[in-house]
Amino acid sequence: AQRVTQPEKLLSVFKGAPVELKCNYSYSGSPELFWYVQYSRQRLQLLLRHISRESIKGFTADLNKGETSFHLKKPFAQEEDSAMYYCALSYTGGGNKLTFGTGTQLKVEL
Amino acid sequence: EPEVTQTPSHQVTQMGQEVILRCVPISNHLYFYWYRQILGQKVEFLVSFYNNEISEKSEIFDDQFSVERPDGSNFTLKIRSTKLEDSAMYFCASSYLQETQYFGPGTRLLVL
């Protein structure tokens, strides 16, 4: 069965510091990986997906199949990045269902 | 920009009562989903719906749950006889094809 692990419940960084939110997955096939973000009192929204290889709001994530990881990175954290970040996985034949990790709360301090 | 909407935002019900949670997906989307998040836990998939039928459901989605698209715009989740453990935030999502899912703001259900 597929699984997504986000080992950190809370990550606190100072403004301007680099950010790395960890995500590891287990799935034997070829998954599609996503990062969703939830700002305070707002809905879940897609931040990025691995197949599009985009950089959104300065965030990037590279799928590392060898390490089964999809860590989210940003070189310089901004105060507005404070939010809950969820890593999620879907796979072909899975009805497009998303399997989520438990989420990491990112707090950017001044 | 079009958004998924959900009503009500909050619902309080007594154990054993039926509840219907409503969602209006984005209008040209073809796939619809329900997820739930129990307080302090991860977001969990419940069911996906395409072409007027369930395409996949999780083990959580037992006989107490049902989904319906009664008209061209609404997508509903019915819980027939609520239990205390059904208390959660319920999210609706939709996608055009099997790709990016757009989420609604959620309905917080409290079963007393």
Cα separation, B92 vs B75, in Å, equals: 9
Percentage of chain B lying above the pLDDT 90 cut: 88
Helix (H) or strand (E) holding B101: none
Whole-number pLDDT of residue A80:
96
The reply to whether residue B48 touches residue A43, judged by beta carbons under 8 angstroms, is no
DSSP result, B28-69: T--EEEEEEE-TTS-EEEEEEEETTEEEEE-TT--TTEEEE-
Q: Which of A45, A96, A102 sits opposite B42 (nearest CB)?
A: A102
Interface test with B, best of A23, A35, A44 (most B CBs within 10 A): A44
Tell me the CB-side half-sphere exposure of residue B100, using CA atoms within 13 A: 13
Type of residue numbered A33: L
Mean per-residue pLDDT over chain A, rounded: 92
Chain B, residues 39-78, CB within 8 A of chain A, namely 41-45, 48, 55-56, 58
pLDDT digits 0-9 by tens, B35-94: 999 998 999 999 999 999 999 999 999 999 999 998 878 999 999 999 999 999 999 999
What are the phi and psi torsion angles at B50 (to 5°)? Answer: -150, 140
For A15-110, list the strands marked E by DSSP: 19-21, 24-26, 31-38, 45-49, 60-61, 72-74, 83-91, 99-100, 104-109
Cα separation, B46 vs B4, in Å, equals: 17
